[in-house]
Amino acid sequence: MTKPIIILGGGGHAKVLVDILHRLNCRLLGIVDPNQSIGCVLLGLNVLGSDNVVFDYSAAEIELVNGVGSLPKDKGLRARLFNTFNAKGYRFKTLVDPTAFIAADVELSDGVQVMAGVIIQVGTKIAKNTIVNSGAIVEHDCRIGRHVHIAPGAVLSGTVDVGDAVHVGTGATIIQGISIGAGSIIGAGSVVTQDIACNRIVYPPRSQIKSINRD
Ligand code: JB2
């Protein structure tokens, strides 16, 4: 029997996760979010209070789902929440949307979240608390670190190595065999064809917008 779940955070990422959890018939106790009033209803669930409400339950009786997502330059709240509760023995549920294809030998660590329409191919290993967001493709034998966000529609060709806390932006493409150093940000739509060191930002070419003269 699966354990009841508390969701941390009640914003956009949590909204998508709640939809997955309902489709998986999970039992949801509610949401903890410091910016909401206790007892109000958010995403159809009760707000239980702030994060310390989790400690009203033992680590043995519940599972957590990290509903806080991540943006390229945020301050690592998602990772901090994971590390805080994990250090106190709480388990984060590994979640896979039923529409995702995950090859049989793929390894997903605690708290990995695989969203709708994702493809993850053979030999890939994904470390704790990473998000593989809607429609992303992670090809064979990739190594993905902790607290990574692979944003919607990104493509990682085979044997790509991604360090911890990397953000791979929406629709970015990383060709085969590339390494991305920890903490780097790959801008949306970038095409990465060379290794990227730690803590770098890759800027893609941007659309140029001009007005049309119809005279
Ligand atoms: O300390 C906290 C805390 N601070 C803010 N603890 C908990 N449990 N929750 C916290 N929050 C809550 O996280 C906010 O009150 C809010 O409900 C939520 C953040 O919601 P937001 O919609 O701003 O972002 P998000 O993290 O759900 O989604 C981001 O990441 C996703 C992956 C967005 O950029 C999405 O567009 C993206 N798809």
140 is catalytic: yes
Domain membership of residue 213 (yes or no) is no
Give the domain extent around 126.
95-208
State the total domains in the chain: 2
Based on the domain organization, do 77 and 174 belong to the same domain?
Answer: no
Q: What is the distance between the alpha carbons of residues 113 and 64, in angstroms, rounded to a whole number?
A: 12
Q: Which atom number of ligand 1 is nearest to the Cα of residue 151?
A: 32
DSSP H stretches of helix in 60-179: 77-87
Q: What is the distance between the alpha carbons of residues 184 and 162, in angstroms, rounded to a whole number?
A: 9
Residue in 19, 33, 42 to alter for ligand 1 test, most ligand atoms within 8 A of Cβ: 33
Q: Over the stretch 155-165, which tens digit does the pLDDT of each residue have?
A: 999 999 999 99
Based on the domain organization, do 196 and 123 belong to the same domain?
Answer: yes
Identify the pLDDT of residue 206: 87
Identify the pLDDT of residue 73: 75
Based on the domain organization, do 152 and 174 belong to the same domain?
Answer: yes
Based on the domain organization, do 57 and 104 belong to the same domain?
Answer: no
| φ, ψ at 114 (rounded to 5°) | -115, 115
Identify the pLDDT of residue 164: 98
* The model's pTM: 0.96
Based on the domain organization, do 146 and 197 belong to the same domain?
Answer: yes
Token pair for 105 = 């030998």
Which of 13, 140, 147, 167 is catalytic? The answer is 140
Q: Over the stretch 169-203, which tens digit does the pLDDT of each residue have?
A: 999 999 999 999 999 999 999 999 999 999 999 99
Q: Over the stretch 53-92, which tens digit does the pLDDT of each residue have?
A: 999 999 999 999 999 999 887 789 999 999 999 999 999 9
The answer to whether 27 and 34 are in contact (CB under 8 A) is: no
Rg (CA), the chain: 18
Last residue of a domain, one of 68, 87, 106: 87
